[in-house]
Amino acid sequence: MDFNKKFNIGLTLETSYKEFDSFLEKYSPYIHSVYFSLPLGKRYHTRSKVANQFLIPGKKRLFWRMLRRIKEYGIELELLFNTLLLDEELIERASITLKEQKIEVDSVCFLAPYYEAVMKYFPNKKYIWSFNNGFRSKKEIDQIIDNYKADAFVLGSLFIRNNRFFQYLEQRGKQVYLILNNGCSFNCDTCNNTESVCDRSFEKNLRTHSIEYLYALQSIFPFELHDGIIDTSHISCFKISNRSSNLKFIKGALDSYIGGEVRAYVEKSRKNYAYWGRAGYFWRCFGKMDLDKILEYKKELLSLEDK
């Protein structure tokens, strides 16, 4: 499996510039793009932890240095507008700030309500439709393709092993950014960045399925990529969910997917289950999850999906 320029990762501020530069030196051959939100206030962020980091002295300066270094390595920059609290004025402000900093982004990932403002203030970019739009069907995505500019779609949840749909999107000239490790429920009604909604879906599913079954279903293990269970030939990027994590987490996730290893990571720490399915509700269960049961469920689920 060739992972060259395949990964889409989130920018983390839990590092120093020197450490981050060493990270890029080693992992840049595998990184296609880095996604980020701007340090312009909490309304631009889905995670308060990330927004609050910009209040730490020196972090904004580090942020801009990191973006410039990423570009020097030939890695694409992906700007996010995936919160529910933005308006045209705030999107314009983002454009002005980037121009002041002399930073050119390559793509913009956004929610549908911001389409007009993104087209206005970020023309001629790659337009990526955020996973947070809550796609639930082929029909919804077809409507976007037919009516808007859309270069790529971030897919997760019930789409994570839908090889036919990956191929279909490619045939329509669109790119697939597949989230490998967010671990979202397949039957969640919406995606609005509200933890309570995720928890309610999870608790409902636990009434009829074990934690190992749900994790097996909602996570992607490295062998699913290496063995061709997920047809990677129609996928442009593998997206790693890591915005609230440190550089150590990113390294571990990349090493695992590239090297194809799972068991050694779990034996080292149960927290490493997050590399392949890091939804908040799973974290509370990592200590009691049985890897052999998960693998057995994966075997059953993947056999069913092959039929």
What tens-digit pLDDT sequence spans the chain (307 residues)? Answer: 899 999 999 999 999 999 999 999 999 999 999 999 999 999 999 888 888 999 999 999 999 999 999 999 999 999 999 999 899 999 999 999 999 999 999 999 999 999 999 999 999 999 999 999 988 899 999 999 999 999 999 999 999 999 999 999 999 999 999 999 999 988 876 665 556 678 888 888 889 999 999 999 999 999 999 999 999 999 999 999 998 899 999 999 999 999 999 999 999 999 999 999 999 899 999 999 999 999 999 999 998 665 4
Q: Tokens 């036919």 belong to which residue?
A: 164
The amino acid sitting at 75 is: I
Assess if residue 93 is contained within a domain: yes
Residue 218: which of 138, 132, 160, 287 has the closest Cα? 160
pLDDT of residue 76: 98
What pLDDT, on a 0 to 100 scale, did the predictor assign at position 307? 43
The Cα 45–Cα 84 span in angstroms is 9
For the range 115-124, what are the long-range contacts, defined as Cβ-Cβ under 8 Å and sequence gap of 24 or more? 115/148, 116/88, 117/87, 117/88, 117/91, 117/92, 118/81, 118/91, 119/149, 120/88, 120/92, 121/91, 121/92, 121/94, 121/95, 122/79, 122/91, 122/95
Partners of 31 in the beta sheet?
7
Check which CATH number belongs to the domain holding 32 and give it: 3.20.20.70
**Terminus-to-terminus CA distance in the chain, angstroms?**
24
Number of domains in the chain: 1
The span from the CA of 21 to the CA of 62, in Å, is: 12
What H or E segment, with its residue span, contains residue 57? none
Quote the pLDDT of residue 195.
Answer: 60
> Is residue 276 in some structural domain?
no
Tell me if 202 is assigned to some domain. Answer: no
Q: Which residue is listed with tokens 């839908």?
A: 162
Which pLDDT belongs to residue 159?
A: 95
Domain that residue 150 falls in: 7-188+219-262
In a domain, 29, yes or no: yes
**Inside any domain, residue 207:** no
Task: Confirm whether 208 is domain-assigned.
Answer: no
- Asked, for residue 197, whether it belongs to a domain, the answer is no
Q: Cβ distance 256 to 265 under 8 Å? A: yes
Note the pLDDT of residue 306: 56
Say if 281 falls within a structural domain.
no
H or E element: which one contains 277? none
pLDDT of 192 reads 58
